[in-house]
Structure 1
Amino acid sequence: MIRGLYEAHLPVSNLEKSIEFYKGLGLKLAIRYEKIAFFWIVENNSWIGLWESDQGVNTKYHPSLRHIAFKVDFEDLKNAKQWLKERGIDIREEFGFKPTEPILIPDQAHAMVYFHDPDENSLEFICKLPAEPENKPDMYLSEWKKLKGIN
C-alpha cells in the first residue's frame, strides 16, 4: 500500500527568501501560490510545501516538528559541508557533535549533516551507509572510514 513519502510541509516567515534558499539547494519550484510554494524533491514523486505564516515559525524546535531529511548519495554526503558552504550555508552541531563533518550513527547505518533554512527549520542530508548496522557509538564519518579502512 504505502510506497514512500509524497510530501512534507514547513512554515516560513518570508516566502520569497525561502524560495531562493530552496532553489539554491537545487530543488525545482513546482507550484507557487500567494503564500505557498511547492518544490519537487524528486520530480513527480515527492515534494515539500513552504507555507508563509507567522504561525509555526515561532514554535520551539523539536525533532518531530519543523524537520525534513533529504536523501543523498554517500559520495555526495562526504562533500556536503563544502557544497553547502559554497551556497552560504553552514552545517550545525547535532547530538553534541561539532559541525566539522558528517555524523555517523552505526546502529542505524546512516550518516548525516544538519543545517537550517532561513527560518531555522531543521534540514538534514542523510544517506544509508554501504555497510550493515553495528552496535558502536555515534562518531564522525572520518572515524568510521578509518575503522573500515576506507579512504
Structure 2
Amino acid sequence: MIRGLYEAHLPVSDLSRSIEFYQNIGLEMAHKSKGLAFFWIEKGKSWLGLWESEHVNAPNHPSLRHIAFQVDYQDMKKAKLWLKERGIDVHEAFGFQPISPIVLVNLPHSHAVIYFRDPDENQLEFICPLEIDTCSHTQNMYLDDWENRQ
C-alpha cells in the first residue's frame, strides 16, 4: 500500500527568500501560488511545500520543522564544502562539531548525516544510509572515522 513519502511541509516567513534558498540547494520549483511554493525533491515522487506564515517560530525540535534529504555516499563526503560554496553553514549535532558529516547509529542501522538550517531556522539534513540491518558498531562518530575503522 504505502510506497514512500510524497510530501512534507515547512512554515516560512518570507516566501521569496525561501524560494531563493531552496533553489540554491538544487530543488526545482513544482508549483507556486500566493503564499505557497512546492519544490520537487524527486520529480514525480516527492515534494516539499513551503507555506508563508506569521506562525513560523514554533519550537525547534527534531519532530517539528525538520526535513531530511537523501543523498548518495559520494555527495555526502563533499556535502559540507558544497553547502559552504552556497553560503550555508553546517551546524553542530548530537555533540559533534560541524567539521564533517557524522555517522548516527540506530542499531541495527547506521546513516551518515549533516545538518544545516534554512532562513527560518527550519532544520534540514542530508542523510545517506550506510548499513541497513547489519550495523555492529555502537557509537556515533565522524564519517572520516567510520571510513577508517578496522
Q: Same fold (TM over 0.5)?
A: yes
1:23 maps onto 2:23 in alignment: yes
Gaps of 5+ in 1: none
| 122-131 or 22-31, larger mean C-alpha shift | 122-131
Asked if the contact 1:109/1:134 (under 8 Å) is kept, the reply is no
TM-score (norm 2): 0.95
Q: What's 2:85 paired with?
A: 86
Q: How large is the RMSD of aligned CA atoms in angstroms?
A: 1.1
Q: What's 1:50 paired with?
A: 50
Residue aligned with 1:147, SS: coil
Please list the CA deviations of residues 28-64 of structure 1 after superposition, one character each: whole Å capped at 9, or x if unmatched. Answer: 0000011000000000110000000011x11110111
1:10 maps onto 2:10 in alignment: yes
Separation in structure 2 between the aligned mates of residue 48 and residue 97 of structure 1, nearest angstrom: 28
TM-score (norm 1): 0.94
Report the identity percentage. Answer: 58
* Counterpart mapping for 1:35-114 below 5 A: 35-55=35-55, 57-106=56-105, 107=107, 108-114=109-115
The Cα shift of 1:26 comes to 0.4
Segments ≥4 residues shifted beyond 4 Å: none
Separation in structure 1 between the aligned mates of residue 121 and residue 62 of structure 2, nearest angstrom: 12
Higher strand share: 2
